[in-house]
Every structure is written in C-alpha cells, then in structure tokens.
Amino acid sequence: MRGYTDVKLMGFCNTLTALVVLLGGAAAQADISAELRMCANCHGEDGSGGDTKVPVIAGLPAVVQEDALFAYIDGDRACGDMPLMCNIVSRLTEDQVRELAEHYAATPFAPANEDFDAAKAETGKSIHEANCVICHGTGPGDAESSILQGQRKGYLRFALQQYAAGERAQLPAMENKMSSLSTDDIEALVHYYASYRE
C-alpha cells in the first residue's frame, strides 16, 4: 500500500511541477508580450519605428540590442528627446532584455526610406568607406554590428553626435574614427545611411 501511495504522490508532484513550469512560462510570455506592446508604441509592431528619432530595431543582431538596452538601464546611454525609452527599459529584467532582443533580431529589417540629399549622401559614402565599412559593412546583411544603412536620420544624427562628443560608450577604434569627424561629416553620413534602399 505504501509503495502505491508513494507512486501516486510522485505522480502528483510531477504533475504539479509541470503545471508550475507551464504557468510560469505563460506568465513570462505574458510579461514579455506586455513589454513588446510598450516597445511597439514607438518602434512599431515590426520594429521599423515611426518617428525619425526612433531607430529601426528590426533585424539588428540580438547582442547589439542587448548591449544597447543594458546601456540604457545602467545610465551609460542617454535617451535624448525620448525619455520614455529610459523609463520603460529601467523596469526590464535581464531575461526580458534577452527575449526582446531575440524577438526583434528575428524580425526582418526594412529600411526607413527617408528623404536624403544626394550630394551629401555621396560624400557620406566616401567617409563610410574610409572609416566605418570594416565593422558596419555595406548593407544590413553585411553588418556584424549595429545596422546603419536604412536607419532613421533623426536617430542617426543624435547617436553619431553623441559618439563624436565621447558621450556614448564605444570601442577605442570607433572613438578614434569618430573624434576626427566634423559636424558636416556626420551630416553627410546621416544622408548616406538614409539613402539606402533594398
């Protein structure tokens, strides 16, 4: 009788454990879905954004997105004119950061298709090829780091100005390149990246 009771109890415990795991997974999924809805308010359902100051995040490598989110959380990266971003990410857990990064990394990248000045874009292309191509490639599929081509102009301008001023954490090699760029160089890069079309 005792053996039968032990088997029944073991079966009950296994069922209870499975239920806890299942409910825990559902709760985690609900949490991430809620965070996705918050992100979608600015970045759009597909991560392509809307406002020119909001970056396209669809298709960015997950590790790049994780680094960016943790930088916002740790206060190492400013949110500029978008303080809501910092308010939202400050509530994220590490697991949520990873899940969000993986979600948007798995979403196909689509360029913002914003207007650009052709002459500035041509100058920017030369600057990119001399300074940036080694890490950022010639297009979204070629980039091993953050995607610049097809990104939104307002966000690019803000981010590049921060990098040039040393106000955003960056690798020494990038810092060396950015510190040599003028305001006109940065604007030319912004228009070059905005000129990208698939």
CATH number for the domain harbouring residue 72? 1.10.760.10
**Within this chain, do residues 100 and 18 fall inside the same structural domain, yes or no?**
yes
**Within this chain, do residues 98 and 60 fall inside the same structural domain, yes or no?**
yes
Q: Choose the final residue of a domain: 79, 105, 131.
A: 105
**Within this chain, do residues 98 and 127 fall inside the same structural domain, yes or no?**
no
- Which amino acid is it at 150? G
Inter-helix orientation angle 153-164/183-194, to 10°: 150
- In this structure, is residue 110 part of a structural domain? no
For the chain, what is the domain count?
2
pLDDT score for 157: 96
**Within this chain, do residues 66 and 39 fall inside the same structural domain, yes or no?**
yes
What would the two tokens of residue 125 be?
A: 């292309």
**Within this chain, do residues 92 and 127 fall inside the same structural domain, yes or no?**
no
Residues 6 or more apart whose Cβ sits within 8 Å of residue 89: 69, 72, 73, 97
Under a CB-based contact definition with an 8 Å cutoff, are residues 72 and 163 in contact?
no
**Within this chain, do residues 86 and 12 fall inside the same structural domain, yes or no?**
yes
**Within this chain, do residues 95 and 129 fall inside the same structural domain, yes or no?**
no
- In this structure, is residue 178 part of a structural domain? yes
Average pLDDT per block of 10 residues along the chain, 198 residues long: 36 37 40 79 86 91 93 89 87 93 92 96 97 86 78 94 90 92 97 93
Which range of residues forms the domain containing residue 101?
Answer: 2-105
Long-range CB contact pairs, 99-103, < 8 A, 24+: 99/32, 100/32, 100/35, 100/36, 100/39, 100/65, 100/69, 101/62, 101/63, 101/65, 101/66, 101/69, 102/62, 103/32, 103/36
pLDDT score for 1: 38
**Within this chain, do residues 88 and 32 fall inside the same structural domain, yes or no?**
yes
- In this structure, is residue 111 part of a structural domain? no
